[in-house]
Amino acid sequence: MIAGWTTGTIRSRVDIGARRLLVVKLGGSLLTRPRWPEEIESLVSGLQRPLLLIVGGGAVVDGLRAIDAAAARPPALMHRLAIDAMRLTAVIVAESLSLPIVTTTDGGRATAILDVAAWLATHAVALPEDWTVTSDSLAAAVAATVDADLLLIKSVPPPAATDDLQALSAAGWVDQAFPEVARAIGTITWTAPTP
C-alpha cells in the first residue's frame, strides 16, 4: 500500500512477479490535481518494478471532445488528434518526473513513458478510430501486445468491486472498447487517490 492511494484488483494471474513489466495507464485527469507531480512520483517509485507509463490526454482531449460536440468532425480525425494530444501530456509528465519518453516497448526495463502515437505507427493494432477508445484501451492494447500486467491509475475507484469488464465499461469507468482489448491480459489492477 502506498500512502495517499487506494488500490484494488480487477483480475490477477498466479505468476505475478516483481520484475514483470507493468504497463501503467495514468489518467490525464490526475494532472489537474494540486501537487500531482509529487503524488505521481511517490506512486511510481513505490511500485518498485519495471514500468511503462501511458499518459491519458486529460483536459487537452476534453477540449477536443468539446470542439467535436460543437461541430462534429470525422471520427478518425478526432481519434488521431486525441492520440496526438496524449503526446503533449506525456511530455509534461516526463519533464515533471524526469523520465524518458520511448517509442518502443523493447527498450529495456527502466521506467519510461511511451509515446503512444509513435508506437501505434509501428504496430498493427485493431482498434476503433472514434471516441469509444480512450487511453484505457490504448494502454490495454500495449499490455496485451507485450504480455505485461496492466495498472489503471484513475481519479476515482471503480464503481463496484468486480472483475466484469463489461460492467465497468457500462458504468463509464473504462471505455467501450476496453473489455475486448483487455480480455487477454492476465493481471489488471487499479489505483486511485485516497479521498
Average pLDDT, the chain: 91
Mean pLDDT of the 167-191 span:
94
CB burial readout 44-77, b (16+ within 10 A) else e:
beeeeebbbbbbbbbebbeebeeebeeeeeeeee
The CATH superfamily label for domain 13-193 reads: Acetylglutamate kinase-like (3.40.1160.10)
Q: Provide CB contacts within 8 A for 27, sequence distance 6+.
A: 56, 58, 135, 152, 153, 154, 155
The structural domains of the chain, with segments of one domain joined by +, span: 13-193
* The predicted structure's pLDDT at residue 195: 79
* The predicted structure's pLDDT at residue 4: 85
pLDDT digits (tens, 9 = 90+) for 138-162: 999 999 999 899 999 999 999 987 7
DSSP H or E run through 170: helix 165-170
Mean pLDDT of the 22-34 span:
95
Contact (CB, 8 A) for 115 and 125: no
* The predicted structure's pLDDT at residue 17: 56
* The predicted structure's pLDDT at residue 1: 59
Q: Give pTM, 2 decimals.
A: 0.93
